[in-house]
């Protein structure tokens, strides 16, 4: 046997192709082997930019002794979660049911030959303090349980499958969520809100873009002062902190601390597309210069570092350098930074970006953040504020040029349809706010890329969308693309926009809608079956496919005449209603569905032609 990943297209899988583990990609060959040999499956899910995925790969998967244990006792399958989000979503949910805790990457999950999980974790270290499980110990324990407790595992399998089935939304007589439910969501967010640093909860702290968009909408549409303060404080703190790349633009994935100072350094296209649209909305609401700089620099970063010559956008930039050192491309030592600047620039920027404070990263390096804003700093330095701002602005391109001399983090060059669509939406909304036609041109180029290479339509059936070459798209790809086409149409209407939007909507309805209960499954009706077929409306780092689909269908219905408009509105209403009871139990977790419900109630139904 040998490692079988060398022929894969995924950059993440190729990172593991030279390891002594007998890795298989997910597929019939590996699943059949597990059934034939009666072995459990060790399923490892990660992605190319993931720091802890790299750590576990170096510590464990590259160790011949650990690899031998894996090869002897398991059929080992490696999955790129960006390439197979359906597998990742199902097994993350199973992990949360098994462990009663949140998931993450790398996801390490042990399955029966039938694909049902019986034990799971995320990162397991190769060495650990006494009392904590090492990966080697976990392998031994799982093998023993598999040999000795098969009947108990079979009973657990059935219980887990029942729990997964019970998690699916079921339409009942619950009303479309109204104003009281939205107020409850606001109260939930206020309870979790950090009034000092913005954001929700403690460390690690994530941006929660859908929550912030919900708050911005309340501020804009209802004049809600509490929602406005929570949203804008969070957006300011994120933009001034280390979560944001102060030199090159764009956001890192999340902050390891509650103050937004030190991130995990991967940059994901999906995060930045959603955040670009969010900051454009904040800029439109407030006109704040800070938000304008974030929008301009993030859009520039996307075009400079992430857009391919074909028009689509690459997936991510890694957190680590080639030696496995996290963040080294982005952090600074004091002296090289000082030498890159003029004395006047250094005097201002050292205070502005926290270089006069202690090093915040690994005790030796500085990661730039706005430690002192230009206004207060000008008072302290007894200089005009405009001069301080000019010196900061002149320093940025110098530091960017100096930083670009370093070895760049690896880029995962895959062009995901759904993530490209998220960036298209961000660029379209930002272009409209900032009057930057070149951003709109970049988004249009991305749309042409999708239409030419990812959309197949023979004119006889509903069109067929691809997520990657040779791989059928998922619900999110359709929903995000429909949203993007409508955002482009709003910013700069073109004759082909609405016909293409209708084609996407028709494909989404034909291939994903639950025709009995309403709402949309994550996978196509003809997709190979997994242990559970997901239908979820939960908004996470990216918005939910169901919430986005409902909003986009409502937006599309508002641009069309009956009967098409009525059909799309009905599908959106069915989607909102099937999740109504779920949303009532935890409104703050479903801001996009709440927005769709609000839009349904605010706009009159369209009569279908009789």
Last residue within a domain, chosen from 166, 194, 228: 166
pLDDT (0 to 100) of residue 185: 98
Number of domain units in the chain: 3
pLDDT beyond 60 at 176: yes
294 and 372 within one domain? yes
Q: Read off the pLDDT of each residue in 104-130 and give the average, rounded to a whole number.
A: 94
CB 143 within 8 A of CB 119: no
Which one-letter DSSP state was computed for residue 453?
H
Look at residues 416, 430, 424, 419 and name the one whose alpha carbon lies nearest to residue 278: 430
- Cβ within 8 Å of residue 482, ≥6 positions away: 501, 504, 505, 508, 548, 549, 552, 553, 556
pTM for the model stands at 0.96
- What is the rounded CA–CA span in Å between residue 546 and residue 503? 18
Q: Read off the pLDDT of each residue in 296-313 and give the average, rounded to a whole number.
A: 98
Q: Give the HSE-up count for residue 319: Cα atoms under 13 Å, Cβ half-sphere.
A: 21
Query: Of the ranges 196-205, 272-281, 556-565, 574-583, which one carries the lowest mean pLDDT score?
Result: 556-565
Does a structural domain hold residue 234?
yes
Does a structural domain hold residue 184?
no
The torsion defined by the Cα of 195, 197, 198 and 199, in degrees rounded to 10, comes to -120
The helix or strand, by DSSP H or E, that contains position 116, with its residue range, turns out to be none
Q: For 32, phi and psi rounded to 5 degrees?
A: -65, -40
Give the CATH number of the domain where residue 449 resides: 1.50.10.20
Does a structural domain hold residue 590?
yes
Q: Read off the pLDDT of each residue in 383-405 and give the average, rounded to a whole number.
A: 96
Does a structural domain hold residue 351?
yes
Which residue's structure tokens are 């296209």? 269
Q: Could you read off the pLDDT of 3-16 as tens digits, one per residue?
A: 899 999 999 999 99
pLDDT (0 to 100) of residue 47: 97
Query: Mean pLDDT for the chain?
Result: 95
pLDDT beyond 60 at 141: yes
| 606 confidence band (pLDDT: 50, 70, 90) | low
385 and 240 within one domain? yes
56 and 129 within one domain? yes
Q: Could you read off the pLDDT of 545-568 as tens digits, one per residue?
A: 999 999 999 999 999 998 889 999
Q: Indicate the burial class of 319 (C-beta count within 10 angstroms; 0-12, 13-18, 19 or more).
A: buried
pLDDT (0 to 100) of residue 117: 97
Q: How many CB atoms lie within 10 A of CB 236?
A: 19
Measured between alpha carbons, how far is residue 577 from residues 85, 557, 567, 597 in Å?
A: 25, 18, 15, 9
pLDDT (0 to 100) of residue 604: 72
436 and 406 within one domain? no
pLDDT beyond 80 at 607: no
Give the CATH number of the domain where residue 99 resides: 3.40.30.10
Query: Of the ranges 124-138, 249-263, 410-424, 490-504, which one carries the lowest mean pLDDT score?
Result: 124-138
pLDDT beyond 80 at 582: yes
pLDDT beyond 50 at 64: yes
Query: Which residue segment(s) compose the domain that 266 sits in?
Result: 204-412
Q: How many CB atoms lie within 10 A of CB 140?
A: 14
What is the separation, in whole angstroms, between the first and last Cα of the chain?
A: 65
529 and 432 within one domain? yes
- What is the rounded CA–CA span in Å between residue 104 and residue 114? 23
| 609 confidence band (pLDDT: 50, 70, 90) | very low
| 498 confidence band (pLDDT: 50, 70, 90) | very high
pLDDT beyond 60 at 1: no
Last residue within a domain, chosen from 144, 166, 188: 166
- Cβ within 8 Å of residue 65, ≥6 positions away: 136
pLDDT beyond 50 at 289: yes
Query: What whole-number percentage of the chain has pLDDT above 90?
Result: 93
Query: Of the ranges 33-42, 163-172, 267-276, 576-585, which one carries the lowest mean pLDDT score?
Result: 163-172
| 171 confidence band (pLDDT: 50, 70, 90) | confident
pLDDT (0 to 100) of residue 610: 36
Last residue within a domain, chosen from 412, 427, 442: 412
Give counts: helices (H), strands (E), the chain.
24, 13
Does a structural domain hold residue 294?
yes
Does a structural domain hold residue 199?
no
388 and 245 within one domain? yes
Does a structural domain hold residue 4?
no
| 590 confidence band (pLDDT: 50, 70, 90) | very high
Query: Of the ranges 59-68, 130-139, 270-279, 294-303, which one carries the lowest mean pLDDT score?
Result: 130-139
Q: Read off the pLDDT of each residue in 16-32 and give the average, rounded to a whole number.
A: 97
231 and 318 within one domain? yes
387 and 358 within one domain? yes
CB 268 within 8 A of CB 315: yes
Does a structural domain hold residue 215?
yes
Look at residues 575, 251, 519, 269 and name the one whose alpha carbon lies nearest to residue 417: 269
439 and 354 within one domain? no
248 and 161 within one domain? no
- What is the rounded CA–CA span in Å between residue 275 and residue 109? 31
CB 169 within 8 A of CB 581: yes
293 and 323 within one domain? yes
pLDDT (0 to 100) of residue 63: 97
344 and 217 within one domain? yes
């Amino acid at each position: 046997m040998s490692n079988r990943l060398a022929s894969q297209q995924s950059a993440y899988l190729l990172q593991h192709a030279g390891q002594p583990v007998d890795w298989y990609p997910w597929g019939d060959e590996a699943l059949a082997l597990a059934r034939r040999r009666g072995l459990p499956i060790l399923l490892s899910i990660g992605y190319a930019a993931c720091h802890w995925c790299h750590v576990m790969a170096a510590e464990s998967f590259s160790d011949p002794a650990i690899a031998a244990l894996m090869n002897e006792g398991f059929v080992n399958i490696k999955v790129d979660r960006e390439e197979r989000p359906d597998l990742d979503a199902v097994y993350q949910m199973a992990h949360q049911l098994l462990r009663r805790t949140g998931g993450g990457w790398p996801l390490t999950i042990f399955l029966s030959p039938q694909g049902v999980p019986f034990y799971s974790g995320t990162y397991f270290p190769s060495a650990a303090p006494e009392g904590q499980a090492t990966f080697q110990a976990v392998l031994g324990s799982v093998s023993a349980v598999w040999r000795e407790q098969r009947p108990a595992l079979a009973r657990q399998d059935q219980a887990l499958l029942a729990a997964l089935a019970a998690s699916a939304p079921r339409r009942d007589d619950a009303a479309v969520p109204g104003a009281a439910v939205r107020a409850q969501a606001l109260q939930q967010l206020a309870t979790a809100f950090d009034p000092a640093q913005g954001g929700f909860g403690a460390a690690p702290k994530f941006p929660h873009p859908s929550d912030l968009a919900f708050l911005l909408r309340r501020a804009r549409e209802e004049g809600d002062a509490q929602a406005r303060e929570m949203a804008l404080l969070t957006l300011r703190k994120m933009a001034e902190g280390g979560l944001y790349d102060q030199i090159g633009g764009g956001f890192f994935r999340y902050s390891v601390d509650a103050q937004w100072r030190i991130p995990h350094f991967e940059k994901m296209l999906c995060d930045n597309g959603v955040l670009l649209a969010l900051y454009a909305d904040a800029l439109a609401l407030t006109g704040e210069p800070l938000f304008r700089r974030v929008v301009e620099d993030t859009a520039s970063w996307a075009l400079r570092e992430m857009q391919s010559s074909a028009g689509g956008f690459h997936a991510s930039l890694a957190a680590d350098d080639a030696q496995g050192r996290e963040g080294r491309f982005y952090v600074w030592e004091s002296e090289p930074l000082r030498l890159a600047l003029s004395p006047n620039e250094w005097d201002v920027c050292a205070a502005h970006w926290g270089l006069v404070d202690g090093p915040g990263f690994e005790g030796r390096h500085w990661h730039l953040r706005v430690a002192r804003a230009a206004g207060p700093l000008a008072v302290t330095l007894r200089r005009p504020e405009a001069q301080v701002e000019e010196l900061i602005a002149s320093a940025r391109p110098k530091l960017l040029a100096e930083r670009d001399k370093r070895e760049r983090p690896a880029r995962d060059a895959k062009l995901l349809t759904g993530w490209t669509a998220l960036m298209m939406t961000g660029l379209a909304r930002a272009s409209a706010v900032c009057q930057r036609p070149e951003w709109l041109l970049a988004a249009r180029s991305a749309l042409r890329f999708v239409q030419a290479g990812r959309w197949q339509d023979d004119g006889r059936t509903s069109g067929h969308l691809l997520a990657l070459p040779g791989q059928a798209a998922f619900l999110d790809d359709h929903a995000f693309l429909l949203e993007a086409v409508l955002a482009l149409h709003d910013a700069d209407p073109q004759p082909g926009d609405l016909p293409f939007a209708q084609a996407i909507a028709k494909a989404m309805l034909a291939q994903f809608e639950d025709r009995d209960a309403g709402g949309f499954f994550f996978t196509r009706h003809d997709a190979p079956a997994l242990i559970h077929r997901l239908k979820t409306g939960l908004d996470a780092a990216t918005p939910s496919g169901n919430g986005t689909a409902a909003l986009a269908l409502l937006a599309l219905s508002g641009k069309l005449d009956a009967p098409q408009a009525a059909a799309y509105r009905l599908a959106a209403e069915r989607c909102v209603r099937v999740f109504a009871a779920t949303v009532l139990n935890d409104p703050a977790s479903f801001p996009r569905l709440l927005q769709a419900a609000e839009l349904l109630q605010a706009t009159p139904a369209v009569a279908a032609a009789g």
